[in-house]
Structure 1
Amino acid sequence: MTEIVIDAKNTEGTVKQLRVALRGAIEERWGEHTLTMDNDLAKGTIRFITFDWGVNLLEYDITFFDDICLIMDASEFNPIHFTYCLEGHCGHRFGYQSEPDIKTLEQFQSVIITCKDGGYNYWYFPANKKLEINVIQITRRHFLKRRLSNLDALNKRLYEVFLDTDHENTFAYFGAYNLKLANKIGALRKIKSKGMIRMMMIEGMIYEILSLHILQHDKAVKNKAPKTSLLHSELKIVRKLAKRIANDVSQDYSLEQLSLESGLSQAKLQEGFKSIYKRTVTEYIRHTRLEVARDLIRTTDLNISQIVYTIGFSSRSYFSKIFKNKYGITPSEFQENALITVEA
């Protein structure tokens, strides 16, 4: 196992120390720093963005070739970590524990952690496993000064964590699987815009991701966490099906066909889609097709009939009806407005 000790005062210093330990190179563009490694220790990237409201984004997209123990000294830099494993898993323990009790951060699990002043966070990353980890770090004193005005909106336990600007206490919350976070974090990673627009889009999505973490913790405290009988592996199958549908909406999907292909019963498929997407399978397919149609109208020269065929519908009148029900405007009216906007 390779041990890396980090005693930096901020996220930038953390990544710079990782650069030395992992023999990587850092590039900066519009305030977005990316550490890239391709050697016998690791292959992939770690990127970070620091915002002026006390929040940092840290994202791992990496494979380590040895087990890594990242030992982080909380004396100088001790944020609240809102962590999510989009792919893979990792481990964590606090350094003050006499007996190591490593807790696993599973894929799709919402985790909130903070250490006490002078303590240590031990993070464990397995070898030869693709890791996609999203971490939102909040420096409490700065965050409270710049952004948070209504602490009463938080439940008591999280309220105390945000208010603990002297870092006297530890906090660890390992939540249930949350695939809404997977979808939102996946969308964050796919942002293609550049420059200032990119940074604004990223900042907005960080707000949403942070809100989902806090909302899940709040529901868990109030015992209102969504319940599902599906296993973690079954939820992964549902999410994989949903991604397949979104990537190819033209196919003639049916509940029976998806059930046969996935090995999940129709009842489990319905439960999974309702749990993750708040829609039945049919509603999800229709919703996704309409979103694709909207984007095609806005970004291509295809006419409405061509778009109807492209997204897997056979009736233009039916498509126009459900499009207007969803967006409050007919496809033709939307297309005319899109053309006017482009010409302007």
Structure 2
Amino acid sequence: MKNIYLNTGTLNEVFNELETSFDGVLNSSNNEFKLALDTDFIKGNIDVVTFINGITSFQVNMTFLDDIALSIESPSKSSILFAYCTEGYFKHSVGISGPQSKLRKHYSAVVTSKASVNTILHFKKNTALQFSLIQVETAGLANTINDPFISHLKKTFLNNQSNFNYQGLQNLKIAKKFSQMNSISDKGMSGHVQKKDIIQSILNMEIDNHTDTLIKISRAIKRSALNHINDLKTKYSVIKNYAADSIYSKVITSKNRIFIK
């Protein structure tokens, strides 16, 4: 078992620390970081994109050659973390002795915390792992103050509870969005804008997935009522046409009888 401690800071500071500590190769430009690691106990890549509205996307593709406990300083109380696992699994706990929850393949999680306790990620030896993280910082940045999208995220995940920890099956639409993002080949501003649009569409899906149950029920009732009305209209149209056809048929038959006489 190896214990790794990662201090928080700017992305430049964090990635420079990772590059130095693990003899990695770091390339960074246009708010994007690509770190390749090849050591005796970690092999793989971390790709990160950061956006001006406080949103950061992490794509991790790793194999750990030893059991690893990664301790990360507690994020700010105004941050929201979305996680999606596409291969393998890992465990998460608040504090080294806290209860562990597993995030496995095809599952997702949303985590916020008001506690000033380190987050611990537990990785098993010889487990190939692919997962994505989206971190949203909802305060402290000038570009987030009047951003209605960030405000909507805060209202959904931060304002109504002191701690939020949800795990569920990964939305296949979200998985498809990440696949689209990974296939973007455009460089510079064009590629950056495309990635931002995809990340925000994923977060919009998360907002919709966690919208208040009463609102969802209300929407379902409205959809059911509309479907019922449309069904009645269809039935009425069928009955009306049938009645018209029936009357027409009787009139024709009556005329024929008169003619025969």
* TM-score (normalised: structure 2): 0.72
Residue in 2 aligned with 1:25? 25
Q: Is the 8 A contact 2:112 2:158 kept in 1?
A: no
Q: Is the 8 A contact 1:184 1:209 kept in 2?
A: yes
Between the aligned partners of 1:88 and 1:221, the Cα distance in structure 2 is 35
Q: Is the 8 A contact 1:110 1:213 kept in 2?
A: no
How far is the alpha carbon of 1:221 from its aligned partner? 8.2
Residue in 1 aligned with 2:103? 105
**Root-mean-square deviation over aligned CA pairs:** 2.8
Flag the 1:221–1:137 CA change in 2: closer, same or farther, 3 A: farther
Which amino acid in 1 is paired with 2:23? R
Q: Is the 8 A contact 1:56 1:136 kept in 2?
A: yes
Higher helix share: 1
Q: Greater Rg, structure 1 or structure 2?
A: 2
Which amino acid in 2 is paired with 1:109? Y
Residue in 2 aligned with 1:189? 182
State the aligned residue count: 215
Between the aligned partners of 2:146 and 2:49, the Cα distance in structure 1 is 17
Which amino acid in 2 is paired with 1:100? G
Deviations 1:102-159 (A, max 9, x none): 10112222211123252211111222222221111111203641523684x5696525
Greater Cα offset, 20-29 or 198-207:
20-29
How far is the alpha carbon of 1:39 from its aligned partner? 2.4
Q: Is the 8 A contact 1:11 1:48 kept in 2?
A: no
Q: Is the 8 A contact 1:113 1:172 kept in 2?
A: yes
Q: Is the 8 A contact 1:53 1:146 kept in 2?
A: no
Structure 1 unaligned residues grouped into runs of 5+: 225-344
Which amino acid in 1 is paired with 2:208? L
Flag the 1:12–1:108 CA change in 2: closer, same or farther, 3 A: farther
How far is the alpha carbon of 1:89 from its aligned partner? 1.4
Which amino acid in 2 is paired with 1:177? Q
Which amino acid in 2 is paired with 1:79? S
Between the aligned partners of 2:78 and 2:17, the Cα distance in structure 1 is 16
Q: Is the 8 A contact 2:84 2:170 kept in 1?
A: no
Task: Establish whether residue 46 from structure 1 lines up as the match of residue 46 from structure 2.
Answer: yes
Structure 2 unaligned residues grouped into runs of 5+: 218-261
Residue in 2 aligned with 1:131? 129
Between the aligned partners of 2:88 and 2:12, the Cα distance in structure 1 is 24
SS, match of residue 12 in structure 2: helix
Flag the 1:77–1:217 CA change in 2: closer, same or farther, 3 A: closer
Greater Cα offset, 75-84 or 187-196:
75-84
Flag the 1:223–1:82 CA change in 2: closer, same or farther, 3 A: same
Which amino acid in 2 is paired with 1:129? T
Deviations 1:61-93 (A, max 9, x none): 121111221111126687311111122211111
Residue in 1 aligned with 2:148? 148
Q: Is the 8 A contact 2:144 2:150 kept in 1?
A: no
Residue in 1 aligned with 2:5? 5
SS, match of residue 44 in structure 1: strand
Higher strand share: 2
Task: Establish whether residue 85 from structure 1 lines up as the match of residue 88 from structure 2.
Answer: no
Q: Is the 8 A contact 1:155 1:218 kept in 2?
A: no
Q: Is the 8 A contact 1:74 1:116 kept in 2?
A: no
Q: Is the 8 A contact 1:43 1:62 kept in 2?
A: yes
Matching of residues 227-306 of structure 1 within 5 Å? none
Flag the 1:212–1:53 CA change in 2: closer, same or farther, 3 A: same
Deviations 1:212-235 (A, max 9, x none): 2222222778677xxxxxxxxxxx
Between the aligned partners of 2:113 and 2:153, the Cα distance in structure 1 is 20
SS, match of residue 40 in structure 1: coil
Q: Is the 8 A contact 2:19 2:26 kept in 1?
A: yes
Greater Cα offset, 170-179 or 12-21:
12-21
Residue in 2 aligned with 1:120? 118
Tell me the percent identity: 26
Q: Is the 8 A contact 1:154 1:218 kept in 2?
A: no
* TM-score (normalised: structure 1): 0.56
Deviations 1:184-220 (A, max 9, x none): 1111111111122111111111111112222222277
Residue in 2 aligned with 1:34? 34
Residue in 2 aligned with 1:15? 15
SS, match of residue 92 in structure 1: strand
Residue in 2 aligned with 1:337? none
Between the aligned partners of 2:39 and 2:149, the Cα distance in structure 1 is 46
Residue of 182, 189, 206 corresponding to 1:213: 206
Between the aligned partners of 2:77 and 2:12, the Cα distance in structure 1 is 11
